[in-house]
């Protein structure tokens, strides 16, 4: 079993008898105290997140994670609907699984869905996504001497 120092974002571990997904990890070494690992875990069963502190030498039990390629189809009242390109089966995923990634989903976008114990636990987007800018503010005249940034609205609604 690996040590808590080896935890990475996206890993699935068993914590207090429950399968959880690591959302965030920080290794801390405060002044004259022992090092520890601060992790944010989300339970697969309940969907609730919690902050957990591990000693740096504690061991954690890993859970096998399977990956499956799916394509985004559409959003409905239950969640986000994805389709398996091989079998054409559709699957609806809860919005909590996508977190901030939902702002970058476009139709037919290929993503990887991670499964632990047969349940979806996370969605991984490709490293880059092509989106169209549908609206942007006017640039100010004479404001080109420095790096000018202005808000832009994307086709997905993200600003």
The residues near 141 (Cβ < 8 Å, ≥ 6 apart) are none
pLDDT value of residue 25: 94
Tell me what pLDDT residue 144 has: 64
Q: Global pTM?
A: 0.65
| 15 contacts 63 by C-beta, under 8 angstroms | no
Architecture of the domain delimited by 65-124? Beta Barrel (2.40)
Q: Just give the CATH number of 4-62.
A: 2.30.30.30
Q: Please say whether the beta carbons of 49 and 41 come within 8 A.
A: yes
For the chain, the structural domain boundaries read 4-62, 65-124
pLDDT tens sequence across 12-27: 899 988 888 898 999 9
């Amino acid at each position: 079993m690996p040590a808590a120092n080896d935890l990475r974002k996206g890993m699935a571990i068993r914590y207090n008898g429950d399968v959880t997904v690591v959302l965030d990890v920080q290794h801390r070494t405060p002044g004259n105290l022992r090092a520890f690992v601060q992790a944010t875990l989300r339970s697969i069963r309940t969907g609730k997140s919690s902050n957990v502190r591990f000693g740096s030498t504690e061991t954690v039990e890993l859970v096998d994670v399977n990956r499956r390629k799916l394509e985004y189809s559409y959003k409905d009242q239950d969640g986000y609907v994805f389709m398996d390109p091989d079998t054409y089966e559709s699957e609806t995923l809860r919005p909590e699984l996508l977190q901030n990634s939902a702002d970058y989903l476009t139709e037919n976008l290929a993503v990887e869905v991670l499964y632990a114990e047969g349940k979806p636990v996370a969605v991984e987007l490709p490293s880059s996504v092509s989106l169209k800018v549908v609206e942007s503010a006017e640039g100010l005249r004479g404001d080109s001497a420095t790096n000018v940034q202005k808000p832009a609205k994307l086709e997905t609604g993200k600003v």
